[in-house]
Structure 1
Amino acid sequence: MFVPAATYRIQFHKDFTFRDLMPQIPYLKALGIGTIYASPIFKARPGSTHGYDVTNAQELNPEIGSRQDFEALQQLLKENQMFWLQDIVPNHMAFHQDNGWLMDIFEHGPASEFYNFFDVNWEHENPELTGKLMAPFLGSTLEEALEKGDVKLVFGEGGFKIQFYENQFPASFTSWPLILEKLTENGRENAPKTLQEPEISSLLQAVESEDNKDELAAIKTQLLTHFQNAETLNWLQNGIEIVNKSPEQLQQILDKQFFRLTLWSDSDQQINYRRFFTINELICLRMEDETVFKKYHQFIFSQYQQGYFQGLRIDHIDGLADPVTYLHRLRELVGNDCYITVEKILDLGEELPVNWPVQGTTGYFFLAVINQLATSVQAEKAFDEIYWKHVPEARESDYEQLVFEKKMYMLENHMRGETDNLFNLFKNLELLPDTPGFTEKSLKDALQILLAAFPVYRLYTNQLPVEGQDAAILEKAFARARKFALHLKKELTYFHQLFVQTDLAQPDAAVNRLHFLMRCQQFTGPLAAKGVEDTTFYNYNRLISHNEVGDDPEVFGITVSRFHQEMLERQRHWPLAQNATATHDTKRGEDARMRLNVLTEMPEKWARILEQWETENEPFVQTIDGHQVPSRNRIFYLYQALLAAFPMDGQPEADFQERVKEALTKAMREAKMYSNWSEPNEKYEQEALDFLGSILTDGTAFKSSFQAFARLVSFYGMLYSLGQTLLKITSPGIPDIYQGCELWDLSMVDPDNRRPVNFESRKNYLQELQETTGNGRENALKSMMQNWTDGKIKMYVTWCALQFRKARKELFTQGEYLPLKLADNPNVLAFGWKLETQWCLVIIPLELGKLTEPETFPLGEQIWKDEMLVLPANAPKKWKNIFTDQTLSGENKLALAEIFKLFPVACLTSETV
């Protein structure tokens, strides 16, 4: 099977194309990258910056390159012995006019072969949506849009279409007779002779009686031939102008369509299709249908067969109805040689289902483990007290309570339509209890609370009874639900019986119960994403480095022994999973998180500086309608956000403040306390942005004290970042570098983390490193450490470690992971690798704020004195440090003063004779 040595994530879009990547290939190879990890490259919505809004999965996105460009890039990779891991999107497509499958449905309705490809309830309880797909894209009600002329009938290539704003959806072919009837009524006196011929009348009658798509297509072709002469076209356009001035006539035509235009926000309360999270513009597929699966993967499979793809990354596996069946179908399709990872967020105590035929996840779990390792467990109580002092209201509810409240908020305000659909399915499956004492309202309330109480994204069961980890999670969900809804004990007991008992009285109970449970599983994932990641994470601000995709803000650090435990499990079960520390979805850069974690080693300093800043900035705080602006919680968030993103050299770029303002605006809207995306509170937002501008003005007391404190935490954060980089490359799993992160990554939430990468500067840096470290490294290392703010030191760790890993690939994928002991020193994490005669030791310092003075690297005897690293049994006696070229010797121990003599992280290699 193909196994990447290391992956490098590339975000393709119109401003970074296949051609733009080609000149970077030699650089990436020299860095040590063996596999390009590509964002979706399939045809997407025009202007897409990410590629997840696919409109046609059967062809390449022309905005990022032609077929010839792609093949030239593939040839270049082949020449450089590099490979390709492709991100695919099986859960959803763009709800857009370029989506040919969807437009075919709009034109042909049930006659379309794609009619059941999308997850649509064509028999929705609302009769206005029966047989129609809700299209919530209007900026006003349909009635208002018709009055304003925002919705129009147009005629062009392919026939009649409904236009709204810049969009055009094909008019259903079955509505053509009505359209021509209206046009004839509006222009009967001068109707062209071609339209008065008996053939036209018979064709239109055939439209209303024919249900074969091929026959209808033939009829349409014949009709269009009659519309091509200038006289007829002119008559059509004149008639259409009259129709467009009549809301009544337009409404009659719209009533005959297979879609129903509505106000965009109507989807918060009612919807008849499954969307990606709460994004109206992304409509989900019924990938559980094997026909859909085969059709969608045709082009993907052909690229794999041709050797263009060697691996696949599956986006949003949680959205699928039956992930395990999907993955087995995919594995059967591509065979055992294809490397497959899944985008999956795991709780720190959750395990990936072992029956999934994949190599592991895309790396969020690893990100969380490293993030927690760099957090001092001992500081949790102090950080609670600091947070509560500055944000007193935060003391009122714990994190679990806050998560539940925000999930319920999402259910009630933005996902009510999905909830109604789920409960209607419950009724339609005849799962209502047949005993008295229940009301539909109480059952629906209990269902909502149960869904909101889920401790993880979802279950993965596709059979009853629920077993193993899924059963344990289900019990935990019920326990939480009972705590939050004591008044619904009876209803929750019924749902517990429904999901857990194996024999209920209802006919077909088992089949219907399983179907309902699996549908619930598709719902809890989006609810968690929106309620936790996109709401709670912007309200719970104790330490925002853990408000991160894949991490858990409720957890405050892990021990070295816990890290080893997690890595041993990873090596045992998922040795080929990806190790990520930054992605296109992370909320702050990988080095920004490390910097914030440093605060946990200096809680007293953090408490003092916060009190100082509160005093310094008090004049800039405003009051609106009795509320402080910004709120105390938002200010607490802002100080951390500024610390995280402030440039390493202390010199903000020209656009720094604007970037922070954009991120702060997003944070305020995501928090949904005083503003939100649906109804932005512009007055509140502007006052908050003015506060930001005021405190960052040159000459303020805050700016001076902030810059000094930022320099302090930046230095220690830099040291942790070097350790994070080394751990990512040498821990169990496949290292993944997000584009540009071989230098410092202090980015904020998207779109900030998707800014253009300056590859030229990186090429120059790597060339300098290759030249300066070629003959003797001590002076080069000193220079890197003196100029650590420029990022070369991080690139050096990345480059050396990747080259080492590439040369000893099997050692890290097939070797034995060995936790190492330290003689009375908790300030170091160390582990080894062994495979036959090959050995490797990885050593990084921890608790750096306690270990060394500011601006002082933790090197030599002054720091490490006579402390020793205990070697594994039968380990070699001589070692070489890949970063320094030093040779070290020791019988059973190695001196830390020697290991860290010249450089603050170490990777030692040796071979037994």
Structure 2
Amino acid sequence: MITSTYRLQISPAFPLDAAVAVVDYLARLGVGAVYTSPLLTAAPGSAHGYDVVDPTRTSRELGGEEARLRLTSAAKAAGLSVVVDIVPNHMSVAVPSTNPWWWDVLRNGPASEYATYFDVDWSRGPILLPVLGSDSLDDLAVHDDRLVYFEHEFPLAPDTAGGSPQEVHERQHYRLVNWRRGNAELTYRRFFDITTLAGVRVEDPAVFEATHGEVLRWVQAGEVAGLRVDHPDGLADPGGYLRRLRAEAPDAWLVVEKILAVDETLPASWPVDGTTGYDALREICGLFVDPAGEAPLTTLAADLGHRPPDNGPVATETAAHEANLAADRGLRPPEIQRTGDHRQNPPVATEAVDNPPEPSSPSGSVETGGRRPTLHEVETECRRLITRTSLVAEMRRIAALANVAPEAVAEIMVAFPVYRSYLPEGLDHWTAAVAAARRANPHLVADIDTVDDAVRKDPRGELATRVQQTSGMVVAKGVEDTAFYRWTRFTALNEVGGAPDRFGVTPAEFHTRATARAAGWPGTMTALSTHDTKRAEDVRARLAVLSELPGEWAETVKRWSAEHGIDEPALNNLAWQSLVGAWPITADRLRAYLDKAAKEAKVRTSWVDHDEAFEKKVNEWPGKVIAELGAEIGAFVERIAGPGWSNALGQKIVQLAGPGVPDVYQGTDLFDLSLVDPDNRRPVDFAQRQEFLSRLEDGWLPDVDATGAAKLHVVRQVLHLRRDRPDLFTGYRPLTTQGPAAEHAFAFSRAPELVVVATRLPVKLAGSGWADTVLPLPGGPGNWHDLLTGKPVDTGQEPRRAVLGDLLSHYPVALLLRGNR
């Protein structure tokens, strides 16, 4: 049984032997399993491993099979299991020569033995490879039986050499085209909008065996005890895939990277232990947000707004793609007219996101009648943007299957209430999407009904499969990677799987959901930080403090913005929150983050079309602000740092001791103030952690301070207890505090002998103190003591109660055990 995991990002900079070197530390910390990023051969230099090129062998760049065995042996000797991340949905084709299967497909076309391994639409002719910088083929060359375009090399089909490079090119099973055509005309399924990651058909048993044989060998040899499955929503039949995987690994711990909507659950037919924990992340982090901050922070977002720019590269890009769709019978006349509107205002203009527009000014593409649009409205428009720019090829391909307008398909995608349905399960989600699409586009009802009828008649057919595979892309790209960078009212909530329009989570809601998790999904993973989170757990914990100080924060950020604001309201609001959340931060780190945020938002610039002048201003902003406001920023952060540490410890103990199998992302055993990748993949100082751990083992009780040693102490105590006494971590029972500060304590028990206590809303608590607030404890024989301080708990007479002022005098959290330690 896996009691907890510790996630390690294995890379050429931190290879498998580096992981071997920290196994002893993890064992001493109390970890139950070493949990690694993908280990199979990935694209050369890959820093994450999700771009696999050869699933049949361990990456030599990571140390190869010998190093993998050293890790599994070291883990076994230390009493730890090993959990590995796997990537069934796609493979990298960025450098064709490194992917032997793809290379053979390019060389031999439909006759290749791997032709059915990749999700290629051979009916549309040669594979389109969007790599050219223009429409010209003048830079092609032929060298050593390869077609060459600068650093790109491609194989030649047998007996196709001779003549000019352009003539040779015409004889191949592929066509090199302008990179801009990739989003509109691609002939193979990809991962989201990344043309260098080609979709794999694991629904084919032969492909499943070829792609999973090596990993399953590890499982069957007892070297790997668990698998984390990446992106199941991209698969043709996630349920069928997981049932096959379970049959091959009947005793393995299986968790899936499934992003659930707030009230969504995993399909009952999936034989898995649960998700990778984003649902728990939302609930745990939201517990420490003050709902009273919602209205003032909403007003602040409006106060920071201004009119959007009149034009920009993203508006131009959107207009061009919409024109392409219109020419392909995809867009109705009103949408063609909207193309003209987009030339004046970027879609979902920032003004419409964080500021109600002036009555006499255009409001972008979100029609709200002058009011501030809801998050749902912003998300909807962002999804439309994605279907008309990044995923045009997918819309066309699906529409052709039903002989309908691509816009009809797109509108169903836009309306999905969840990431995807899993027909015939989850028919209500499909029905809701179709109904919403009908309401939004009455003139497209006939086409929408055509799609609906075909999908219902054959829920396992190609049309239904393609729609479902693609809807997850639309939602993820439209919401997480666009809307969450535009709707920046309070970014502590803007997390993968989050619900930024739900301002926090009440204790009652948390208790309800935790009780359900303990009963229904006790083996699910829980997480606070991952390699994909947009900001680390301790950044969110500090930002949660702003919800208790909205007036002070509003006054401060408006003053700062008056002199140093970024000329794009949503990014400006995000930048100030990121600066104080991650402080102290270097200008280089913040510069990289804001560059990524601006391009993901797609308001003033994007990854595809750059506004160089705007990007230059954004790149200059961190250095200038840190130099001119550094002292003032530091003073503000000092004001909120302590409450932030309290929130961080509260989040961590609730996660670690709560229902599910908790994961500790690398480095977050101390306070970690990282932002989105690659910032959260920086090297971890394990030597510092080992030094602190040795002192803790000698009885050190660290103070709560910037070193983060107090967090390491909490992690060590809870993980050791989970590993040594798994019987204590069963069930879930809410506990209620009594007294004037009752709302500031959150408590629950697992087994009756174990109680967890955390402090909420520490800023407001500081104004009143605990006074005579108490926590009634579960009845039963034996005395209580706090495992964090080692002190007995004075519970008085029956019924026993802990006085919170005494209990939480050293740490803002407590881990109470009744009976012998």
Structure 2 length-normalised TM: 0.89
Question: Which residue number corresponds to residue 80 of structure 2?
Answer: 82
Question: Which residue number corresponds to residue 691 of structure 1?
Answer: 621
2:285 is equivalent to residue 338 of structure 1: no
Shift of 1:109: 2.4
2:422 is equivalent to residue 460 of structure 1: yes
Question: Which residue number corresponds to residue 883 of structure 1?
Answer: 788
Q: Partner of 2:203: helix, strand, or coil?
A: coil
Shift of 1:495: 4.3
8 Å CA contact 2:402–2:451 kept in 1: the answer is no
Shift of 1:166: 2.7
**What letter matches 2:660 in structure 1?**
G
Q: Partner of 1:864: helix, strand, or coil?
A: coil
8 Å CA contact 2:279–2:497 kept in 1: the answer is yes
Equivalent-residue separation in structure 1 for 2:452 and 2:118 (angstroms): 31
Equivalent-residue separation in structure 1 for 2:820 and 2:684 (angstroms): 42
Equivalent-residue separation in structure 1 for 2:549 and 2:227 (angstroms): 43
The one-character-per-residue Cα deviations of 1:391-447 (angstroms, maximum 9, x if unpaired) are: 2622342111111111111111121111101101223xxxxxxxxxxxx44xx3222
Deviates more, 1:288-297 or 1:720-729: 288-297
Shift of 1:562: 0.3
Deviates more, 1:312-321 or 1:474-483: 474-483
Shift of 1:491: 4.2
Q: Flag structure 2 segments of 5+ consecutive residues without an equivalent.
A: 307-350, 357-371
Shift of 1:538: 0.9
Question: Which residue number corresponds to residue 543 of structure 1?
Answer: 490
Question: Which residue number corresponds to residue 201 of structure 1?
Answer: none
2:688 is equivalent to residue 805 of structure 1: no
Q: 1:362 aligns with which of 272, 276, 282?
A: 276
Equivalent-residue separation in structure 2 for 1:608 and 1:487 (angstroms): 48
2:508 is equivalent to residue 561 of structure 1: yes
Q: 2:633 aligns with which of 684, 706, 717?
A: 706
Question: Which residue number corresponds to residue 504 of structure 1?
Answer: none
Equivalent-residue separation in structure 2 for 1:870 and 1:707 (angstroms): 40
Mapping of residues 339-738 of structure 1, within 5 Å: 339-391=253-305, 393=351, 394=354, 395=356, 396-427=372-403, 440-441=404-405, 444-461=406-423, 463=424, 470-499=426-455, 510-511=457-458, 514-615=461-562, 617=563, 620=564, 630-647=567-584, 652=585, 656-697=586-627, 700=628, 702-738=629-665
Q: 1:327 to 1:599 in 2, by over 3 A?
A: same
Q: 1:172 aligns with which of 148, 157, 160?
A: 157
Structure 1 length-normalised TM: 0.80
8 Å CA contact 2:120–2:127 kept in 1: the answer is yes
Residue identity (%): 34
- C-alpha RMSD of the superposition: 1.9
Q: 1:70 to 1:492 in 2, by over 3 A?
A: closer
**What letter matches 2:554 in structure 1?**
A
Equivalent-residue separation in structure 2 for 1:377 and 1:636 (angstroms): 19
8 Å CA contact 1:630–1:691 kept in 2: the answer is no
The one-character-per-residue Cα deviations of 1:744-801 (angstroms, maximum 9, x if unpaired) are: 111111111101111111111111222243xxxxxx34xx23xx01111111111111
8 Å CA contact 1:498–1:513 kept in 2: the answer is no
How many equivalent pairs are there? 752
Q: Partner of 1:535: helix, strand, or coil?
A: helix
Q: 1:67 to 1:514 in 2, by over 3 A?
A: closer
Shift of 1:903: 2.0
Q: Partner of 2:201: helix, strand, or coil?
A: coil
Question: Which residue number corresponds to residue 431 of structure 1?
Answer: none
Equivalent-residue separation in structure 2 for 1:276 and 1:791 (angstroms): 38
**What letter matches 1:833 in structure 2?**
R
Q: Partner of 2:301: helix, strand, or coil?
A: helix
8 Å CA contact 2:785–2:818 kept in 1: the answer is yes
Deviates more, 1:383-392 or 1:51-60: 383-392
Shift of 1:847: 1.4
Q: Flag structure 1 segments of 5+ consecutive residues without an equivalent.
A: 125-129, 183-242, 244-248, 428-439, 501-509, 622-628, 774-779, 854-861
Shift of 1:807: 1.3
Equivalent-residue separation in structure 2 for 1:496 and 1:294 (angstroms): 34
Shift of 1:496: 4.4
8 Å CA contact 2:458–2:464 kept in 1: the answer is no
Equivalent-residue separation in structure 2 for 1:107 and 1:273 (angstroms): 16
Equivalent-residue separation in structure 1 for 2:607 and 2:236 (angstroms): 29
Equivalent-residue separation in structure 2 for 1:847 and 1:484 (angstroms): 41
Equivalent-residue separation in structure 2 for 1:331 and 1:140 (angstroms): 47
Equivalent-residue separation in structure 1 for 2:569 and 2:65 (angstroms): 54
Equivalent-residue separation in structure 2 for 1:704 and 1:84 (angstroms): 45
**What letter matches 1:645 in structure 2?**
A
Mapping of residues 126-275 of structure 1, within 5 Å: 130=125, 132-141=126-135, 143=136, 146-147=137-138, 149=139, 151-155=140-144, 160-173=145-158, 176=159, 178-179=160-161, 182=162, 249-275=164-190
Question: Which residue number corresponds to residue 16 of structure 1?
Answer: 14
Equivalent-residue separation in structure 1 for 2:131 and 2:641 (angstroms): 45
Equivalent-residue separation in structure 2 for 1:23 and 1:446 (angstroms): 55
Q: Which has the larger radius of gyration?
A: 1
Regions of 4+ moved over 4 Å: 493-500
Shift of 1:487: 4.0
Q: Partner of 1:591: helix, strand, or coil?
A: helix
Equivalent-residue separation in structure 1 for 2:784 and 2:497 (angstroms): 36
2:63 is equivalent to residue 65 of structure 1: yes
Q: 1:875 to 1:138 in 2, by over 3 A?
A: farther
The one-character-per-residue Cα deviations of 1:465-488 (angstroms, maximum 9, x if unpaired) are: xx5xx2332233234334433443
8 Å CA contact 1:875–1:912 kept in 2: the answer is no
**What letter matches 1:879 in structure 2?**
W
Shift of 1:373: 1.1
Shift of 1:153: 1.4
The one-character-per-residue Cα deviations of 1:291-347 (angstroms, maximum 9, x if unpaired) are: 111121111111112221111111101110101100110111112x11111111111
Question: Which residue number corresponds to residue 822 of structure 1?
Answer: 737
Question: Which residue number corresponds to residue 117 of structure 2?
Answer: 117
Q: Partner of 1:887: helix, strand, or coil?
A: coil
Equivalent-residue separation in structure 1 for 2:377 and 2:60 (angstroms): 47
